[in-house]
């Protein structure tokens, strides 16, 4: 086991020169966090969680797939890629009325953000205009908005911002070194460029990754460092675990160890104390005790609703029951 530094003296969370908020984490430091004795790691993460977040509060976001399947990218984990046989059938963009209905259902269930996903490499101008209409309509229902549409070209992020978009999700997925084993149709640099455009337009950044792609501990540490290098840190950091989908090249991957998920969440909380850290895809395979540990380690967001984009997620009633037993309330 690797020893980690003791908890630093209490810092002033409002202070400008705050040693808790760093953008210079080394891969060695991140790897040491991931490999530390679990109690030391979780204790340090929980301490920061209490100082920088509303402890015992969890953000709820609901996903809706506004454009299913037919994606030209070859992400090896994804059921929506055209590259794998038997994938999700390509559908047209969801009509505005259905998106509004999804927003009303999500709000009634207790979500305060609707995350709209589209299986595109990047949106064309006509579709982008329709997504802008969706953003306006969802905001008019009193929900925050997030979209994930693939790569953005110059000027597209500004249009989304003008429509009132709150968050753009664009995950790094893994380290730069391992990226070529996961996706071959775009580069890590492409990802970073879109993220730069999102930030430049003043949209909040939702950016994280996926465990269980076949990556090493070193890759996990490296990805955390890329995330922590953003200044400011991404406002939202989703930690997904692979949902192994039949027909994709990753269908036979080893399931992710729950303790490894907890470690990743704790390391993200320590490295990015002010960010919302989401226990994202993969909760169907986790025990309730594993999820509880993830909240103690600093997770403070989940996807609410029984479907993610194409795969199942715990029922709302199950989540409500778990939250109540853990004394967690909706943010
Ligand atoms: N097409 C857009 C893109 O790739 O940016 C948006 C949708 S994509 C489904 C959003 C993210 O969900 C991916 O970047 C990946 O991190 C995560 N994801 C997709 N399929 C997954 C799976 N089977 N298991 C876990 N996470 C997954
Ligand atoms: C994120 O980090 N995870 C979400 C959302 N952002 C878009 C997607 C998870 C997808 C899980 C597999 C599926 O349902 O197809
Ligand atoms: Fe397309 Fe996104 Fe799936 Fe990749 S993750 S294949 S870009 S929908």
Beta carbons within 10 angstroms of residue 312's beta carbon: 11
Please report which helix (H) or strand (E) contains residue 114, including its range: strand 113-118
Give the pLDDT score at 88: 79
Give the pLDDT score at 54: 94
- How far from chain centre, in Å, is Cα 4? 26
C-alpha span between 302 and 217 (Å, rounded): 24
- pLDDT (tens digit per residue) in 119-164: 999 999 999 999 999 999 999 999 999 999 999 999 999 999 999 9
Give the pLDDT score at 85: 84
State the distance from the centre of ligand 3 to the C-alpha of 71, rounded, in angstroms. Answer: 6
Which domains does the chain show, CATH number per domain? Answer: 37-325 (3.20.20.70)
State the distance from the centre of ligand 1 to the C-alpha of 15, rounded, in angstroms. Answer: 36
State the distance from the centre of ligand 2 to the C-alpha of 246, rounded, in angstroms. Answer: 16
Ligand 2: atom nearest CA of 117 is 7
Give the pLDDT score at 9: 47
Nearest CA to ligand 3 atom 8: 119
Is 71 marked active-site? yes
Which residue in 146, 197, 199, 207 is the catalytic one? 146
State the distance from the centre of ligand 3 to the C-alpha of 119, rounded, in angstroms. Answer: 6
* Residue 42, phi then psi, degrees to nearest 5: -70, -35
Give the pLDDT score at 5: 66
Which residue in 206, 225, 263, 283 is the catalytic one? 206
Is 283 marked active-site? no
Q: What angle is formed at CA 111 by the lines to CA 258 and CA 108, rounded to 5 degrees?
A: 135
Segments of the chain with pLDDT less than 70: 1-3, 5-17
Q: Is the CB of 194 under 6 A from ligand 2?
A: no
Give the pLDDT score at 2: 65
C-alpha span between 99 and 93 (Å, rounded): 10
Q: Is the CB of 84 under 6 A from ligand 1?
A: no
Is 225 marked active-site? no
Is 78 marked active-site? yes
Which residue in 113, 220, 278, 283 is the catalytic one? 278
């Amino acid at each position: 086991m690797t020893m980690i530094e003791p908890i630093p003296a209490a810092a002033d969370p409002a202070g400008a020169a705050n040693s808790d908020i760093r953008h210079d984490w080394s891969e060695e430091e991140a790897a040491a966090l991931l490999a530390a004795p679990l109690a030391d790691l979780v204790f340090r993460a929980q301490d920061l969680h209490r100082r920088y977040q509303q402890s015992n509060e969890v953000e709820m976001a609901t996903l809706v797939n506004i454009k299913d399947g037919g994606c030209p990218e070859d992400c090896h984990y994804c059921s929506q890629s055209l590259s794998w046989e038997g994938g999700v059938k390509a559908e047209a963009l969801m009509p505005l009325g259905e998106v509004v209905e999804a927003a009303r259902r999500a709000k009634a269930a207790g979500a305060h953000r609707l995350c709209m996903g589209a299986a595109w490499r990047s949106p064309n101008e006509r579709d982008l205009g329709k997504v802008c209409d969706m953003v306006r309509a969802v905001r008019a229902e009193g929900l925050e908005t997030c979209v994930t549409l693939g790569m953005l070209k110059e000027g597209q992020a500004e249009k989304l911002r003008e429509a009132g978009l709150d968050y753009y999700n664009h995950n790094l997925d893994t380290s730069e070194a391992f990226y070529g084993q996961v996706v071959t149709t775009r580069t890590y640099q492409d990802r970073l460029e879109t993220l730069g455009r999102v930030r430049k337009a003043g949209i909040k950044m939702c950016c994280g990754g996926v465990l269980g792609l076949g990556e090493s501990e070193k890759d996990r540490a490296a990805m955390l460092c890329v995330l922590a290098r953003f200044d400011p840190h991404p406002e939202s950091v989703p930690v997904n675990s692979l949902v192994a989908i039949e027909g994709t090249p990753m269908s036979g991957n080893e399931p992710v160890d729950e303790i490894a998920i907890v470690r990743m969440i704790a390391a993200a909380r320590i490295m990015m104390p002010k960010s919302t850290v989401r226990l994202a895809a993969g909760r169907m395979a986790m025990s309730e005790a594993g999820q509880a540990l993830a909240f103690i380690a600093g997770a403070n967001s989940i996807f609410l609703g029984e479907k993610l984009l194409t795969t199942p997620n715990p029922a709302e009633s199950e989540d409500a029951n778990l939250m109540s037993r853990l004394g967690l309330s909706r943010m």
